[in-house]
Amino acid sequence: MKKFLFFFLIVCLAPVAFAATPLKSSPRTERLEGALEEQLQQAAAAVQNASKEQEPFLQILQKSPRPVLPFFKYDGKISLVTMREFFASTPADGVRYVGTYGASTCIIVVIVSKKDGRVVSTGLAHIDATCLVNESGAFFGQSILEGDEADIYLLSSYGDEDTALRILKFISFYERDGRKFSYFVNLRGPEAVVINAQTGEVFEGCPIDCLDLSPQELTKRIDHTAMQIAFPSALKPSLPQVELYKRRFEESSDDEE
């Protein structure tokens, strides 16, 4: 009986004794644990820094006024910008209306650049979530660089906040040259917009029957766009933009002659 009790006590107390005995880690395990702890600290610091970096752009999204846009009434043909395309012009180019539609989760960016209170350039882009905004300097540069201030609109019916933040972050690089930007944001607003490239007026709506395209041409444009956006890429010039580039080139060639 004594032997049995002795054996029973050994069995019961052994786990307690084992648990109370500190485990000794090997030098290799300690090095791995130290490296892991350092990586976790670096990751936490990176998240904190990213949050601080985004704070001013979040403030723009949350506190910028929501524009109340008048509805577009037919007063001339509209040059179409489709998804992941842009158009930028000056009043001297003679372009009047530029528009886009279908920005449900995409974001429409409108830029009205001014100098001494006068409109010197305008731009419109239709940006989806996988667009490479940081490689789309052609649009932002042509729309902004002419002026010393700009009105910037971010509009969508169900826009993605992350995409909006990427756009604002990229635009901020142009603000460093002393330009003054005024922001107007509504990511739960219009999915179709028209801009008067002569005056900088922005309208809600983009009636299909006002486009300077036939139904067949419109179908081709949409099909072409669908093929282009299969993979991430930068904004591309819209067909009206390409035509404008061509016209500018021809005019400059004539001047040289």
In the predicted model, residues of the chain with pLDDT beneath 70 are 1-25, 38-51, 254-257
What CATH architecture does domain 78-242 belong to? Answer: 2-Layer Sandwich (3.30)
For residues 245 and 8, give the distance between their C-alpha atoms in angstroms, rounded to a whole number: 93
Q: Where are the alpha helices (DSSP H) in the chain?
A: 2-20, 27-63, 137-144, 161-175, 215-228, 239-256
pLDDT of residue 46: 54
DSSP string, 78-126: EEE--TTEEEEE-GGG---EEEE---SSSEEEEEEEEETTEEEEEEEEE
* Number of Cβ within a 10 Å radius of residue 201: 16
* Number of Cβ within a 10 Å radius of residue 57: 19
Structure confidence by residue, pLDDT tens digits, 203-220: 999 999 999 988 888 888
